[in-house]
Amino acid sequence: MTKRVKIDQLGGEVGERVTIEGWLYNKRSSGKLHFLELRDGSGICQCVVFKGDVSAEIFAKADHLSQETSLRVSGVVREHAKLKGTFEVGVTELEVLATPMREFPISPKEHGTDFLMDNRHLWLRSKRQHAILRVRAEIIAAVRDYFDGNGFTLVDAPIFTPNACEGTSNLFETDYHGDAAYLTQSGQLYMEAAAAAVGKAYCFGPTFRAEKSKTRRHLAEFWMVEPEVAFMDLEGDMELAEDFLVSVVARVLDKRRKELESIERDTSKLELIKKPFPRITYAQAIETLQKAGHDAKHGDDFGGDEETVISNGFDRPVIVHRYPMDLKAFYFKKDPTDPRLALNMDVLAPEGYGEVIGGGQREDDLATLEAAITHHKLPMEAFEWYLDLRRYGSFPHAGFGLGIERTVAWLCGLPHVRETIPFPRMLNRLHP
Amino acid sequence: MTKRVKIDQLGGEVGERVTIEGWLYNKRSSGKLHFLELRDGSGICQCVVFKGDVSAEIFAKADHLSQETSLRVSGVVREHAKLKGTFEVGVTELEVLATPMREFPISPKEHGTDFLMDNRHLWLRSKRQHAILRVRAEIIAAVRDYFDGNGFTLVDAPIFTPNACEGTSNLFETDYHGDAAYLTQSGQLYMEAAAAAVGKAYCFGPTFRAEKSKTRRHLAEFWMVEPEVAFMDLEGDMELAEDFLVSVVARVLDKRRKELESIERDTSKLELIKKPFPRITYAQAIETLQKAGHDAKHGDDFGGDEETVISNGFDRPVIVHRYPMDLKAFYFKKDPTDPRLALNMDVLAPEGYGEVIGGGQREDDLATLEAAITHHKLPMEAFEWYLDLRRYGSFPHAGFGLGIERTVAWLCGLPHVRETIPFPRMLNRLHP
């Protein structure tokens, strides 16, 4: 057998005889020529079967190949006559490895969403899904490289957690050898312990929400990265979020521009994601909503619609900080200049993609934190280990969480999160 | 305030006035000097408080600091008089941020395992745990960089799976909006779909086993990386596993030698991990056991003790291949030269650390796979989507799974997996 190569390596093999293994993506014929589009996962290339180059048997075989036939093709690599930088193979050998037993169900024609989701395992073979998968993988690599390269230590948070800290309604529960265990919604509390150990910690893994809501922005299972930094305040947290997000967007533009263009993302919008990000207070955000004619008042939380209105005034992410404490979890530190406000921040992506980051500074005073736990009617006992972090050398600290799927949706320009993860899990979707 | 720096940056600040924030790790005094060992997560440095350099108040304060007091210290950086490459701070300012409310429970003296595990959130602050955390993080980075750098695409497998494919006894179950869902034990089946899409795929995430066994090698929640490659056979799979493992060990030796030495790992043993790995068949492994006086016969599976005997003859990982089909999962391809054998392989680490990799070539013939599912009395319907991969352009493919915690145990030389993950989950351990 000749040298086995991947399609994305053909550029280095011009004039060489190679073998490629893959699947038929598309085919057209014209007289003495069959043009087979072969995909192997690394790319798609045109394999030209010329009647004069092959046996009559092979030429006939090439005429009867259906989509997704798995093939082994050998031939000489050449540059496309008209498209510089595009390479094709002049076929001399062609072996069918397996012929589809039925017509491949996903064709370029329009399919309903449910049909595509039911066939997610096959849908992943399409060009568009390839591009999204690769952008997702690049975002994840960018996230990890950013933290690994900036003095952070990866400290994985547990998935099983012993206590339903904030009520059980949005939690998935399982029987853990006789005890109830809950699937994590966030690794933050564990990252606070990790920050006390390694100074700058992050976790990256799946998190779970059993919400009944069926929206274009919610998954039951989604991936989140959560950095936490000792001796950092809210100001530092906003700077970190900004620097991090700019770095991730720049990396994806640098490495995955081709994929973004293939799914028709307007990359000029992403070129605008530079420092500094505008920063507004919650109070200013409420004003913005009111000016836009929204019936918003102080104390309201923001849904997707409100986030879109707030972010519409900006061409880059906007940081909204200092929400009312009443809207926020018990662990946020209160603003010393107005204790009704939390030292928190959300980062809203532009173009209506909404919140991609939420975080802030954590309460580091033991008595204040105990009072907050009591105020929220949470079980004090479940937080004893967390309170220990304030008992033994308490320290100012802050962090945030970034949702991977919302970031993929934003950078790819997808209206719904269902395409942002290989095998989505939603309210009515546990399959395949 | 002077320039805030991390302890691992002090080498670049000699002669400069800096501020460090961290926790007191240890302290000794001698007349006019207090030597404070400060840790900030990036490292530990000695801060020297000389009576002549500070106010009487600061000198007195420095004499009464307890372990884990959080501190802000300012002073001039200098190289240690006797230890080249070690830097210390001549303290001029010292601010106590928080004094521990109780004596820190973890001291250098011996503690019982349960006590340490109950205080895992505090135990992580010790030097030994830092070293293990950093080796773990390096292994994970090495794993990802290997696959990202070798043409693989990260394709996350789902955590929630709809079917209890191999019986429910070892599975964690949850109520998924009225349906039963199970926590994944492996992403492999999904990676087979991914390999058909992107050619070379891998997933990396937590996996779950509800086993009742309490051993030094089992966790309820553990992390696994699973590559899967289209058009690769068992031979290619063994080569990939070998190349991958050599690359991970070399990276850890290169980047984390200091940490390995701090936990007294004999790194000379790791220097031996080079290609090629010895390869033996299951039949040869049985012979080895019999020669060593073990009561082993063809058809027996290997436990930890057997793995140790088999691997003891080698100074590097040994690949054991072609186990009896009866011992293996339904999806393995049968050896065409002897259909009673599976085209599978396990990689056993040396020094008694046992299996770190398991994998092999998958059955790609639809009828054979259907027969195997029937033979194992598994629900055919649950596998319809998986069978689709054989219906639409079936292709030879292979892959494997590497357990992160067993790899950490091996590379760090730990007898038990409980220290290999930040927050271990075991039979009797769901807390903190």
Asked whether B192 and B397 are in contact (CB, 8 A), the reply is yes
Cβ separation of B174 and A174 shorter than 8 Å? yes
Nearest-angstrom CA–CA distance, A60 and A54: 10
Asked whether B404 and B225 are in contact (CB, 8 A), the reply is yes
- Domain assignment of residue B331, yes or no: yes
Same domain, A44 and A132: no
Averaged pLDDT for residues A215-231 = 95
Shortest distance between the Cα of B167 and any Cα of chain A, in A, equals: 16
pLDDT digit string (tens) for A379-431? Answer: 999 999 999 999 999 999 999 999 999 999 999 999 999 999 999 999 889 99
Provide the pLDDT for residue A25: 96
Using an 8 Å CB-CB cutoff, list chain A residues near B68: 392-393
Q: Which residue has the tokens 């790791």?
A: B270
pLDDT digit string (tens) for A56-99? Answer: 999 999 999 999 999 999 999 999 999 999 999 999 999 999 99
Beta-strand pair B344-349/B318-321: antiparallel
Nearest-angstrom CA–CA distance, A315 and A337: 31
**The token pair that represents B155 in the structure block:** 């394709």
Pick the closest to residue A140 from B357, B202, B424 (CA basis): B202
What is chain B's mean pLDDT, rounded? 96
Same domain, B64 and B146: no
CA A339, A340, A343 angle in degrees (round to 5)?
Answer: 70
What 3-state DSSP class applies to A14? Answer: coil
Provide the pLDDT for residue B123: 97
Q: Which residue has the tokens 């990802």?
A: B144
Same domain, B141 and B14: no
Nearest-angstrom CA–CA distance, B103 and A182: 32
Same domain, B139 and B73: no
Q: Nearest residue on chain A to B191, judged by CA atoms?
A: A121
Report the domain count for chain B: 2
Same domain, B283 and B349: yes
pLDDT digit string (tens) for A9-24? Answer: 999 999 999 999 999 9
pLDDT digit string (tens) for B307-328? Answer: 999 999 999 999 999 999 999 9
Is any Cβ of chain B less than 8 angstroms from the Cβ of A85? Answer: no
The conformation of residue A277, written as its DSSP 8-state character, comes to P
- Domain assignment of residue A132, yes or no: yes
Pairwise pLDDT comparison (B204 vs A169), residue with the higher score = B204
- Domain assignment of residue A106, yes or no: no
Q: Which of A24, A177, A190 sits opposite B423 (nearest CB)?
A: A190
Pick the closest to residue A203 from B419, B247, B223 (CA basis): B223
- Domain assignment of residue A104, yes or no: no
- Domain assignment of residue B209, yes or no: no
Shortest distance between the Cα of A70 and any Cα of chain B, in A, equals: 5
Best B203, B392, B428 residue to mutate vs chain A (most A CBs within 10 Å): B392
Shortest distance between the Cα of A382 and any Cα of chain B, in A, equals: 9
What 3-state DSSP class applies to A183? Answer: strand
- Domain assignment of residue B426, yes or no: no
Pick the closest to residue A302 from A347, A271, A361 (CA basis): A347
**Residue B405: CA count within 13 A, CB half-sphere:** 25
Q: What sign results for the dihedral spanned by CA atoms A372, A373, A374, A376?
A: positive
Cβ separation of B21 and A364 shorter than 8 Å? no
Same domain, B325 and B246: yes
Cβ separation of B102 and A183 shorter than 8 Å? no
- Domain assignment of residue A309, yes or no: yes
* pLDDT of A214 above 90: no
CATH of the domain at B40: 2.40.50.140
Is any Cβ of chain B less than 8 angstroms from the Cβ of A427? Answer: yes
CATH of the domain at A412: 3.30.930.10
Provide the pLDDT for residue A138: 98
Asked whether B24 and B68 are in contact (CB, 8 A), the reply is yes
Shortest distance between the Cα of A172 and any Cα of chain B, in A, equals: 7
Asked whether A24 and A67 are in contact (CB, 8 A), the reply is yes
- Domain assignment of residue B41, yes or no: yes
Provide the pLDDT for residue A206: 98
Using an 8 Å CB-CB cutoff, list chain A residues near B387: none
In this prediction, residue A212 has a pLDDT band, given cuts at 50, 70 and 90, of: confident
Same domain, A16 and A134: no
The conformation of residue A6, written as its DSSP 8-state character, comes to -
Provide the pLDDT for residue A328: 94
What is the residue type of B269? K
Is any Cβ of chain B less than 8 angstroms from the Cβ of A392? Answer: yes
Using an 8 Å CB-CB cutoff, list chain B residues near A430: 160-162, 176, 179, 181
**What residues contact residue A297 under an 8 Å CB cut-off, 6+ apart?**
A286
What is chain A's mean pLDDT, rounded? 96
Shortest distance between the Cα of B111 and any Cα of chain A, in A, equals: 18
Cβ separation of A144 and B148 shorter than 8 Å? no
**The token pair that represents A362 in the structure block:** 């954590």
Using an 8 Å CB-CB cutoff, list chain B residues near A154: 136-137, 140-141
Nearest-angstrom CA–CA distance, B153 and A32: 37
pLDDT digit string (tens) for B26-47? Answer: 999 999 999 999 999 999 999 9
In chain A, residues 123-182 whose CB comes closer than 8 Å to chain B: 124-125, 129-130, 133-134, 136-137, 140-141, 144, 148, 151, 153-162, 172-177, 179, 181
Cβ separation of A198 and B41 shorter than 8 Å? yes
Using an 8 Å CB-CB cutoff, list chain A residues near B98: 364, 390, 393-395
Shortest distance between the Cα of A395 and any Cα of chain B, in A, equals: 7
Q: Nearest residue on chain B to A195, judged by CA atoms?
A: B41
Provide the pLDDT for residue B1: 61
In this prediction, residue A113 has a pLDDT band, given cuts at 50, 70 and 90, of: very high
Using an 8 Å CB-CB cutoff, list chain A residues near B396: 97
Nearest-angstrom CA–CA distance, A314 and A311: 6
SS3 of chain B: CCEECCHHHHHHHCCCEEEEEEEEEEEEEECCEEEEEEECCCCEEEEEEEHHHCCHHHHHHHCCCCCCCEEEEEEEEEECCCCCCCEEEEEEEEEEEECCCCCCCCCCCCCCHHHHHHCHHHHCCCHHHHHHHHHHHHHHHHHHHHHHCCCCEECCCCCEECCCCCCCCCCCEEEECCEEEEECCCCHHHHHHHHHHHCEEEEEEEEECCCCCCCCCCCCEEEEEEEEEECCCHHHHHHHHHHHHHHHHHHHHHHCHHHHHHCCCCHHHHHCCCCCCCEEEHHHHHHHHHHCCCCCCCCCCCCHHHHHHHHCCCCCCEEEECCEHHHCCCCECEECCEEEEECEEEEEECCCCEEEEEEEEECCCHHHHHHHHHHCCCCHHHHHHHHHHHHCCCCCEEEEEEEHHHHHHHHHCCCCHHHCCCCCCECCECCC
Nearest-angstrom CA–CA distance, A73 and A96: 9
**The token pair that represents A272 in the structure block:** 């605008």
Same domain, A36 and A88: yes
Q: What sign results for the dihedral spanned by CA atoms B155, B159, B162, B166?
A: positive
Pick the closest to residue B88 from B60, B127, B49, B61 (CA basis): B49
pLDDT digit string (tens) for A274-321? Answer: 999 999 999 999 999 999 999 999 999 999 999 999 999 999 999 999
Question: Which range marks the domain in which residue A38 is found?
Answer: 3-98
Quick count: other Cβ atoms within 10 Å of Cβ B83? Answer: 10
Provide the pLDDT for residue A164: 67
Nearest-angstrom CA–CA distance, A161 and A178: 14
The conformation of residue A354, written as its DSSP 8-state character, comes to E
Strand partners for B342: B334
Please report which helix (H) or strand (E) contains residue A25, including its range: strand A17-30
Asked whether A312 and A293 are in contact (CB, 8 A), the reply is no
Asked whether A399 and A359 are in contact (CB, 8 A), the reply is yes
Same domain, A125 and A78: no
Nearest-angstrom CA–CA distance, A234 and A275: 17
Same domain, A20 and A168: no
Nearest-angstrom CA–CA distance, A303 and B298: 63
Using an 8 Å CB-CB cutoff, list chain B residues near A153: 41, 133-134, 137
Same domain, A57 and A134: no
pLDDT < 70 regions, chain B: 1, 164-168
In this prediction, residue A166 has a pLDDT band, given cuts at 50, 70 and 90, of: low
Same domain, A376 and A408: yes
